[in-house]
Amino acid sequence: MTGAGSPHASPPGKGNAFGVYVHWPFCLSKCPYCDFNSHVRHAPVDEDRFARAFAREIETTAARTPGREVSSIFLGGGTPSLMRPQTVGAILDAIAKHWRVAPGVEVTLEANPTSVEATRFAGYRSAGVNRVSLGVQSLDDAALAQLGRLHSAREALEAVAVARDSFERFSFDLIYARPDQTPDAWQAELDRALDEDSEHLSLYQLTIEADTPFATLHAAGKLRIPDPDAARVLYDVTQEVTAARGLPAYEVSNHARPGAECRHNLIYWRYGEYAGVGPGAHGRLQVDGARVATATEKHPERWLLRVESRGHGLIVDDTLSREEQADELLLMGLRLTEGIDPVRFAATAGRPLDASRIADLCTQHLLEIDGAGRLRVTPAGFPLLDAVVADLAA
Ligand SMILES: C[S@@+](CC[C@H](N)C(=O)[O-])C[C@H]1O[C@@H](n2cnc3c(N)ncnc32)[C@H](O)[C@@H]1O
Ligand code: SF4
């Protein structure tokens, strides 16, 4: 990446984090649980053409957000590790050409943990990637087969080892609360994962997403997942084991050594400013004093044609009302163990949070106010987060 850290006059918003999310929408096969914007193509994808479209959309988005300094970049998917390193390099160069890039910028790439992908890691590092997030999902081969993954546990651990040698920082994802998973088996799997000494782990409970093959199997009674009580026991195991090993939760599903949190995802949860480029990417931008929600066309080739003809793939470009912003701030911020600043909520909404609802939730030990006046969900409240947020937002 060129242009990183070049000295310029202070832009507006200096000191504020600004993230760029780039979506690569292709996968080798579709996992049966996944409802992300990912597509399988049986003919080779024209990466050069996509790279030109990414650069064009980056240019258009940067023109709306002049003077920002990019503090993090996240290449997510789909499977961004299917991209050639030069495609990643071209995207990062376009970002550095049209925005200023902060010294020490965090550049994360999501990678599937196969041996083929691991061979590209050195190229990604040369292109400017300094952090990878690997979709390991499980360290049990039978579970990986059930999840429809194309890699074995051994192959995943080999990719983790290459990631450790290739990048300054790495993280990996596991899915738990899988069919028939016992607390003892999950504890052993998690302990094995923590032996890899990753500074960051994303630990997701299996969710049955609508319109996926898992949803069909589940509805037919052919896929039984842990009931809420059993899932709660697995959740508690997750919190205990990760905290004991120095990676406490800092967000509902994300764990890190203190200081090793994903800076890019923190922008979302702290309700900061970020641009979304690529098919189906979402953004939240400050434009002429308004907060704007953006989303692009999801279908890859339709997005490509739109960008080629109009310079962007936007299908949503809406100014958010103060109430909408306040709801989003609450929804995102309460996912973090650090919680939210009620003063910021009041400034955003134009009204304070309902004191009697806060008092009720505090009495139930689901919510607390810390010494700095921040409002945060308690460990007992996190498993009930959706209900707590709904109650406060009502
Ligand atoms: C964008 S996705 C996938 C990244 C990458 N393509 C992969 O599969 O390794 C990010 C993560 O979301 C998680 N995920 C996706 N669908 C899920 C589901 N239905 N339930 C729980 N976790 C899910 C997986 O852990 C996955 O690694
Ligand atoms: S889980 Fe990852 S590899 Fe599987 S379909 Fe979703 S984005 Fe693609």
CB atoms within 10 A of CB 169: 19
Write the CA distances from 111 to 41, 72, 114, integer angstroms: 18, 17, 9
pLDDT digits 0-9 by tens, 332-349: 999 999 999 999 999 999
Reference 366, options 378, 383, 354, 353; nearest CA is 378
Specify the 3-state DSSP secondary structure of 352. coil
**What pLDDT does residue 198 have?**
97
Token digits of residue 266: 């923190």
The dihedral of CA 271, 125, 249, 209: what is its sign? Answer: positive
Q: How far is the CA of 367 from the centre of ligand 1 (A)?
A: 29
CA angle, corner 73, sides to 295 and 85, nearest 5? 105
Nearest atom of ligand 1 to the alpha carbon of 136: 9
Identify which of 24, 31, 33 to mutate to test ligand 2's pocket (most ligand atoms within 8 A of the CB).
31
pLDDT (0 to 100) of residue 13: 41
To which residue do tokens 């923190």 refer?
266
> Of all residues in the chain, what percent are helix, strand and coil, respectively (each to 5)?
40, 25, 35
Taking the C-alpha atoms of residue 11 and residue 9, their distance in angstroms, rounded to an integer, is 6
**pTM for the whole structure:** 0.95
Q: Measure 23 CA to ligand 1 centroid, in angstroms.
A: 14
Low-confidence ranges of the chain (pLDDT < 70): 1-15
| Atom 14 in ligand 1: residue holding the nearest Cα | 34
pLDDT at 15: 58
Q: How far is the centre of ligand 1, averaged over its atoms, from the C-alpha of 57 (Å)?
A: 26
Q: How far apart are CA 7 and CA 11, in angstroms?
A: 11
**Cα–Cα distances in Å, from 25 out to 28, 297, 301, 347?**
11, 11, 10, 37
Q: How many angstroms is it from 134 CA to the middle of ligand 1?
A: 10
pLDDT, tens only, 68-80: 999 999 999 999 9
